[in-house]
Structure 1
Amino acid sequence: MKTDKVILGVLGGLAAGAIMGILFAPDKGEKTRKKIKRKSNDYADDLKDKYETALDTISKKYETLKQEGQDLYIEGKSKFDKTKKELENLDIKNLNN
């Protein structure tokens, strides 16, 4: 959700900035268009950077959670195997008595 809000904020800011730039531009048409293009490229680059940062963060968190899950599985399996062995030993001792 947070990423969606960031993207919407950036796009909204881009649109508002472009409109305000056109309305209040003291320059002639071609110069204004170049400024708009430059600003649009700046906003697009900023959006791309934020997207890549978010993607990198998500990937790192995924890998961390994946590793933690594997560690928990190994720990749980080890405890299960130990308990199973103890129960098997108890059954054998009870049969011998």
Structure 2
Amino acid sequence: MSKESSVVLGMLAGTAIGATLGVLFAPDKGSKTRERILDEALNAKDKALEEAEYLKDKVLHTIPKKEETLEEEIDRVVSDMSMKGDEAISALEKKLKDLKAKNKKFQKA
């Protein structure tokens, strides 16, 4: 993976994590918070896919001789980013489940 794609991946991951933490610590109703977390996760995934497509187009136009090999590599990166987005959503859903359980305990107390 090139330095540029690693940097983009890092920036996207940082953005997604930062947005998620911001939403988690925002004073809002639980249902609204969960909705915002899901929206942010889906937006981050979409943005990651858009960035991957941008990188794919940029690389394909820059180095036409290795188009087939580069396209395969970029498709792999896009696939990896998609999986990472899915993993982020799963992690957020798990965190939401934990938060719901904690919220139930607080409401009973």
The number of equivalent residue pairs is: 64
What does 1:26-37 align with in structure 2 at a 5 Å threshold? 26-37=27-38
TM-score by length of 1: 0.60
Query: Which whole-Å CA distance do the structure 2 matches of 1:8 and 1:43 have between them?
Result: 12
1:18-54 Cα shifts (integer Å, max 9, x gaps): 112111x222111100011111111111111010010
Q: 2:28 is paired with a residue of what secondary structure?
A: coil
TM-score by length of 2: 0.54
RMSD between aligned residues? 1.6
What does 1:1-97 align with in structure 2 at a 5 Å threshold? 1-23=3-25, 25-63=26-64, 66=65
- Structure showing greater Rg: 1
- The Cα shift of 1:57 comes to 1.1
Please identify runs of 4+ aligned residues in structure 1 that moved more than 6 A. none
Unaligned ranges ≥5, structure 1? 67-97
Unaligned ranges ≥5, structure 2? 66-109
